[in-house]
Amino acid sequence: MVEYRDQNAPPGGPYRWGMVIDLDRCTGCEACVVACHAENNIRISGEEEASKGRAVNWIRIERYWEGEYPNAQVKFMPVLCQHCGSAPCEPVCPVYASYHTPDGLNAQVYNRCVGVRYCGNNCPYTVRYFNWFEPHWDEPLNEQLNPDVTVRSVGVMEKCTFCVQRIRGAQQTAQKEGRRVKDGEVTPACVQSCPTEALVFGDRNDPNSRVSRLSKDDRGFGLLEELGTEPSITYLKRIK
């Protein structure tokens, strides 16, 4: 029998999910992008749609060139929803489809969304994506859809969820055993697939978790943190 029924009230206080991205480790291989597409039923956009800015990528690799060929240096930066503590997308939603969960996730409730796109326009990271079309997968890709994730229909906004389906799965196991989720028990698809372990995910309310320890690194910064968005993701980069 379970000791607690509210997933947001586990023993020892609520969770606060967060991520650390070590840019000194990222090689720009885009395995995270592929894994995210497969895990989260992200529709496939062609070249034409992408050129109109209608492609959907919950996580993308931004590429920066320094210097001229042949002495060029490339720098990579994975950008996904920062799950801001003070998110600009949340107060502008007229129907509360974009809101903050008690465990620190920036959620999008698809069945509430009416598609006004205010949230996407107010996001400084441009990580919210609108469904301009009914999603479509060519055979046999339609057979590999994840049953734990909603297939978003036309007219709703979508975004990174920190793979909430995996978080909830781990929470159910923990709840059954009457304990908290252990550090490293939840890995979003991008974190799981990263070959250099540049991405780390965990509970920021647990001072001993890998995420908590790494985010105190002196290389740490938040993306556009001067805007006061209080991002849940800490980037690490050695400044030379």
> How far apart are CB 89 and another protein at their closest, in Å?
15
User: Where does this chain bind another protein (CB under 8 A)?
Assistant: 1-2, 5-8, 99, 101-102, 105, 107, 109-112, 148-151, 161, 164-165, 168, 172, 175-176
Q: Which residue's CB is nearer to another protein, number 12 or number 195?
A: 12
Q: Please state, in angstroms and rounded to a whole number, the distance separating the CA atoms of residues 240 and 230.
A: 25
Q: Which residue's CB is nearer to another protein, number 107 or number 227?
A: 107
> How far apart are CB 150 and another protein at their closest, in Å?
5
Q: Which residue's CB is nearer to another protein, number 146 or number 192?
A: 146
- The number of beta carbons lying within 10 Å of the beta carbon of residue 36 is 22
> How far apart are CB 209 and another protein at their closest, in Å?
21
> How far apart are CB 103 and another protein at their closest, in Å?
8
Q: Which residue's CB is nearer to another protein, number 33 or number 160?
A: 160
Contact criterion met (CB below 8 Å) for 89 and 128: yes
> How far apart are CB 83 and another protein at their closest, in Å?
12
Q: Please state, in angstroms and rounded to a whole number, the distance separating the CA atoms of residues 32 and 37.
A: 9
Return the bridge partners of 201, or none: 19
Q: How far is CA 3 from CA 52, 167, 182, in A?
A: 51, 19, 17
Q: Which residue's CB is nearer to another protein, number 8 or number 86?
A: 8
Long-range contacts: 235-240, Cβ < 8 Å, 24+?
235/20, 235/21, 235/22, 235/23, 235/77, 236/20, 236/21, 236/22, 236/23, 236/24, 237/23, 237/24, 238/24
